[in-house]
Structure formats: structure tokens, C-alpha cells
Amino acid sequence: QSALTQPRSVSGSPGQSVTVSCTGTSSDFTDYSYVSWYQQHPGKAPKLIIFEATKRPSGVPGRFSGSKSGNTASLTISGLQAEDEADYFCCSYAGTNTLIVFGGGTKVTVL
Amino acid sequence: EVQLLESGGGLVRPGGSLSLSCVVSGLTFSDYAMTWVRQAPGGGLEWLSTINNSGRTTYYPDSVKGRFTISRDNSRNTLYLQINNLRVEDTAVYYCATGSGDFGAWGQGTLVTVSS
């Protein structure tokens, strides 16, 4: 099972909005209920920021939002802040055979 | 506060074996499926294995099936990953995480280096 496809990098100035896409096949996104997004700062463990495609865990700022359309899931960061500079990974439940597949990751740079 | 603490990483020769542990606190361990994920240096995240809350059902990608074995001891709040016939390409930070479809809590990771 190939990884979900994400852009290698995305950048924006403070206060701007950026969107990270995550594209797969119909088999990758078997159940959109299990599309999730993770933020990872250098040297740290990943942190869940979006689950079930659009939901935010308690404590995650409202500027992070998730959406889905067809075979693409997206993460939008509105009002970009310096601390949002990190790597972001998408993840999907891909069925009972492979179960879980991750995207290759996107580096978000705050200019 | 939920905490996950991995241990057992280190330097191993190719062909060797390793057993990783993950001790979980701050939640009712036996209520949660658990997962192992790894990250090669400078690389992305790779799903390795998931085990259901009772330990009776396990899942692996084809890439590690037969070499990796996940298990758990609910009486000790501990998750395990046995890795056999280690390869240079297994060099990575290994993370344990709660859940099976999305992963709400992660450990800090344990580094496994496979080198001769």
C-alpha cells in the first residue's frame, strides 16, 4: 500500500492561511471517519490535531481545521503563527488488510 | 495525564532481535487498542502493528508480517513489540500510541539502530 500523497512543503506569512492536501485512492480512504492529522515539531513525538476528518481534540486551537472531498483530505491552518512551523502528517484507515496508511508528511514553514 | 514510556531500543547487529516495551499510565489500559509506529531518520511515519484491547486480535502490514510481533499485558499496563531478523532499514525511532484508527497519545519514542 503506497503512502498517501502530500506536498513536500507549504509556506505562509504570519496571519495567513495555508492548506495541506492529502490525496489517496478510494481504497486508502475506505472510511473517512478515520482520517487524522498529526503535527510534529523537530525531535518531538507526533501530536493528534484532527480526527475523524474534521474534529479537533480538546486543547487544539481553532485555527486548525480539517475537510474532505472525494479522495482528498485537507488540513487548513488559519491565522498562521510561528509555533505552527512543523511537519504535518495525514493518516487514514485503509481497510482490514493494510489497516493504516500515512502520508509522506508536509513541512509547513512560517515566513 | 496520559503517559506512554517506551524502552528497549539500542544498537543491534543485522540479523539480531529486539524487544520493545511501552508502559502506559493515566488511562484504563485494557480499554484501548494500541499501535506501534516508526520513523526512519529524516523520514515519515510508518504504521507497524495494532493490537485490540484484549490482545486477541493483531494487525500488521505485509512489510513486517512474520518478523514483528505485537503483544500486551493488561495486568502490567504494558505493550510490547518483538522484532526479529533486524535489517539496516529497520533503523528508526519506534513510537507506541493509543488507538487503532486515530492515535490520541504517543510516547517519546525509542531509537533502534541496526548496524554492523
> What are B51-106's pLDDT values in tens digits?
999 999 999 999 999 999 999 999 999 999 999 999 999 999 999 999 998 999 99
Q: Which residue is it, cell 520513523? A: B39
Q: Report chain B residues whose CB lies below 8 A from the CB of A75.
A: none
- Give the whole-number percent of chain A exceeding pLDDT 70: 90
**Cβ atoms within 10 Å of A78's Cβ, excluding its own:** 14
Label residue B107 by pLDDT band (50, 70, 90).
very high
Under DSSP, the state recorded for A4 is B
- Give the whole-number percent of chain A exceeding pLDDT 90: 76
pLDDT value, residue A94: 79
- Helices and strands (DSSP H and E) totals, chain A: 0, 9
Give Dmax (Cα) for chain B.
41
Q: Which of B102, B103, B108, B110 to mutate to test the interface with A (most CBs of A within 10 A)?
A: B102
Give the one of B46, B59, B62 whose C-beta lies nearest to A102's C-beta.
B46
**Grid cell listed for A40:** 510534529
User: Torsion-angle region of residue A26: left (phi > 0), alpha (psi -120 to 50) or beta?
Assistant: alpha
| Beta strands per DSSP E along B1-116 | 3-7, 10-12, 18-25, 34-39, 45-51, 58-59, 68-73, 78-83, 92-98, 110-114
Q: Which residue is it, cell 520493545? A: B20
- Give the whole-number percent of chain B exceeding pLDDT 70: 100
| Weakly modelled stretches of chain A, pLDDT under 50 | 1
- Rounded to the nearest angstrom, the minimum Cα separation between A100 and chain B is 6
pLDDT value, residue A93: 85
3-class secondary structure, A40: strand
- Rounded to the nearest angstrom, the minimum Cα separation between B78 and chain A is 19
Q: Which of B35, B45, B65 to mutate to test the interface with A (most CBs of A within 10 A)?
A: B45
Q: Which residue is it, cell 484484549? A: B54
Label residue B6 by pLDDT band (50, 70, 90).
very high
Contact A100 B102 (CB under 8 A): no
